[in-house]
Amino acid sequence: MGMAIADTRVSIAALEGFCFRVLTASGVREPDARTTTAALVTPDSWGVFTHGTKLLRGYARRLRAGGLRVDVSPKIAGQGPGWALIDGQSALGQVTSAFAVEESIRKARQCGVGFVTVRNSCHFGAAGYYAWLASQAGMIGIAMANDMPSVAAPGSKGPVLGSNPIAFACPGGSGDPIMLDMSIATVAGGKVFARCKRGEPIPPGWLVDDQGRPTQDGALYPERASLAPMGGHKGYGIGLFIEILAGVLSGAAVTRQVGSWLFGDFQAPTNHGAAFLAIDVGAIMELEAFYRRIAALVGEIHAAPTAHGAPRLMLPGEIEWRNRRRAEAEGIELPADVVASLSEAAAESAEPFVI
């Protein structure tokens, strides 16, 4: 629709078009550019701007420098009836992850459940996107990845595990899917940066300093502070099992071996790991019955009494679907930091910044 730079409201199609052009200008083949565009614009349409097209600039830099390769495709390095091991060969993490989800769905159609673990990938963006892809195929989907350490363990002085995202999605029949996308940190690092930028103090429980003490000084993060694990040993423990499933079992880099996709050497592969699980609902239960049971659970939660003044309880994903419908009708209101990042991505790719 050709909006000017100052205008931050964009249509989904226009944002997709821009993203696609930057990717192809960076050497990405058209099918891979389409896959990556969908994985980046969809989270923006959900209002998850930390994991949408804001990531494009960093990916494009790595694509041009060679740390992300444009001349390869993810390949199956091993497989059995219900599992596969994918070697991403340093293609875009979005390309490899979408390929892996498809494979997990294919395996689940054969066996009822499909498990796919991935090596030689990169940052994959929004975990929820991949779980949601599986849910679109009638699967309960789970997606997870490891990353370079940024999260403390109980008692540690510094970071021990990555923020190791995990997402779950369940198809909702005529209702919306249920989708949970979370990291193992109490809050994501982006929220620390945002508070600092606004000059606000960091709430207790978010950060641990480099002596292992709780801190509310956001300026220390990330050099001299780590994110606190959600629920203490529980977040740490979940993160460790994500590391095992996505990193150890796949042959990917583990913890400190994982490269920084954003700040590391743009010419070097990061070797992130990931893992995907798909469960074929329709194989286990007649779909109509399953959707009736999901609708009953959703109805029960919506009808649950809430604390004085609180609106009705929400299902995980409910905010995202509301945002998505608004984005389809009215376009996406991109935050300034996303617009600035896209503008730089355009300049660096010698593409006009037209969204």
Residues 302-331 that bind its own copies (CB under 8 A): 304-308, 310-311, 313, 315-316
For its own copies, the closer of residues 193 and 291 by Cβ is: 291
| Torsion sign, CA atoms 179, 121, 106, 72 | positive
Cis peptide preceding 222, ω within 30 of 0: yes
CB-CB contact of 189 with 221 (8 Å): yes
Q: Which of residues 133-152 bind its own copies (CB under 8 A)?
A: 140
> In the complex, what is the shortest distance from the CB of residue 47 to its own copies, in angstroms, rounded to a whole number?
15
CB-CB contact of 290 with 281 (8 Å): yes
Return the range that interacts with its own copies (CB under 8 A); candidates 88-96, 219-227, 298-306, 337-345: 298-306
Return the range that interacts with its own copies (CB under 8 A); candidates 65-73, 216-224, 288-296, 339-347: 288-296
For its own copies, the closer of residues 186 and 341 by Cβ is: 186
Q: Around 113, how many Cα atoms within 13 Å sit in the side-chain half-sphere?
A: 4
For its own copies, the closer of residues 210 and 351 by Cβ is: 210
Q: Around 63, how many Cα atoms within 13 Å sit in the side-chain half-sphere?
A: 29
> In the complex, what is the shortest distance from the CB of residue 317 to its own copies, in angstroms, rounded to a whole number?
9
Residue from 19, 56, 92, 153 that binds its own copies (CB under 8 A)? 153
CB-CB contact of 108 with 278 (8 Å): yes
**Closest to 108 in 3D by CA, of 74, 88, 134:** 134
Q: Which of residues 83-122 bind its own copies (CB under 8 A)?
A: 83, 85, 108, 110-115, 117
**246: which residues sit within 8 A by CB, 6+ positions away?**
117, 118, 144, 145, 146, 164, 252, 273, 274, 275
Return the range that interacts with its own copies (CB under 8 A); candidates 33-41, 45-53, 195-203, 293-301: 293-301
Q: Which of residues 50-69 bind its own copies (CB under 8 A)?
A: none
CA–CA distances in Å: residue 95 to residues 26, 32, 37, 155, 270: 15, 6, 10, 37, 15
Report CA 328 to chain centroid distance, whole Å.
Answer: 21
User: What is the Cα–Cα distance from 161 to 142, expressed in whole angstroms?
Assistant: 20
Taking residues 168 to 187 in sequence order and writing x for each that binds its own copies by CB under 8 A, - otherwise, the string is x-x-------x-x-x---x-
Strands 139-145 and 166-170: antiparallel
Residue from 31, 136, 155, 217 that binds its own copies (CB under 8 A)? 155
Residue from 71, 284, 299, 325 that binds its own copies (CB under 8 A)? 284
Return the range that interacts with its own copies (CB under 8 A); candidates 28-36, 216-224, 250-258, 263-271: 250-258
Site size toward its own copies (CB under 8 A) is 75
CB-CB contact of 124 with 272 (8 Å): yes
For its own copies, the closer of residues 213 and 325 by Cβ is: 213
User: Coil, helix or strand for 34?
Assistant: helix
User: What is the Cα–Cα distance from 186 to 244, expressed in whole angstroms?
Assistant: 21
Q: Which of residues 22-51 bind its own copies (CB under 8 A)?
A: none
> In the complex, what is the shortest distance from the CB of residue 295 to its own copies, in angstroms, rounded to a whole number?
10
> In the complex, what is the shortest distance from the CB of residue 76 to its own copies, in angstroms, rounded to a whole number?
12
Q: Which of residues 197-226 bind its own copies (CB under 8 A)?
A: 211-213
User: Coil, helix or strand for 239?
Assistant: helix
Residue from 249, 268, 287, 354 that binds its own copies (CB under 8 A)? 249
Q: Which of residues 251-280 bind its own copies (CB under 8 A)?
A: 251, 254-256, 277, 279-280
